[in-house]
Amino acid sequence: MALIKARDIHKQYTSGDVVTMALNGVDMQLEAGSFTVLAGPSGSGKTTLLNIVGTLDRPDSGRLTIAGKDVLTLSATERARFRLMHIGFVFQAYNLIRVLTARENVSYVLQLQGVPAGERLATADRLLAEVGLEGLENRRPDQLSGGQQQRIAVARALATQPDIVLADEPTANLDSHTGGELMQLMYRLNEEHGTTFLIASHDPVVIRRAGSLIRMRDGCIVQEAAAD
């Protein structure tokens, strides 16, 4: 079943007299339960496409449906609500709340959804254990390694049982060994829970883990294939 359908997506940015075509007629379809990597060099458009799929940015033209919803017709408030209920994010720089513990970071999105305290804390502890952080629930981000912080980010992304998890260069701030472990974790979560992942990266470690691979260059998709 198609979870995401993007059709003829265009996006350009203007800085002074310079116009940059970030996306030029992109078509993309992702199936539920897929593990897809957007690969390409810096400036290829992969982060712009990820932000549009995540409803953090809007295209200049095109169509985008997620879980059957035409998200481009939503207001800013409706898009924020849609993100909260349907999309999980894993960012390059972790984006954790520094003054909160691991448990509190993961449970915060559930608090925004109005989930009762006992339920959201139990969910946070379960997910932290699942990503290998049992016993570290009360540590703040500055008391943890980069790899551990990114595992918190993965647990937080999964907390709301989203339709899709979007990850932008999730291994960029990690060494190759830790990055490999993170990818194994996300791949396992995809296989065991059927969580859909869309990951933007130029890291060979990430690309090797792709279930399907979409290569981008100069704002266009130049190749789509099942990974070897």
**pLDDT tens-digit map of 89-126:** 998 888 999 999 999 999 999 999 999 999 999 999 99
Name the residue range of residue 69's domain.
2-226
- CA neighbor of 196 nearest in space, from 55, 63, 53: 53
Integer Cα distance of 117 and 97 in angstroms: 18
List, for residues 175-217, the tens digit of each pLDDT value.
989 999 999 999 999 999 899 999 999 999 899 889 999 999 9
Using pLDDT thresholds of 50, 70 and 90, give the confidence band for residue 227: low
Using the predicted structure, report yes or no on whether residue 228 has a pLDDT greater than 70: no
Query: CATH no. for residue 136?
Result: 3.40.50.300
Q: 121: part of which helix (H) or strand (E)? A: helix 117-130
* Radius of gyration of the chain, Cα coordinates, nearest whole angstrom: 17
* CB neighbour list of residue 102: distance below 8 Å, 6 or more residues apart: 124, 128, 133, 136, 137, 138, 139, 140, 141, 144, 152, 155
> What's the one-letter identity of residue 173?
N
pLDDT band of 15, cuts 50, 70, 90: confident
CA 196-197-203 angle, to 5 degrees, is 160
What's the domain count of the chain? 1
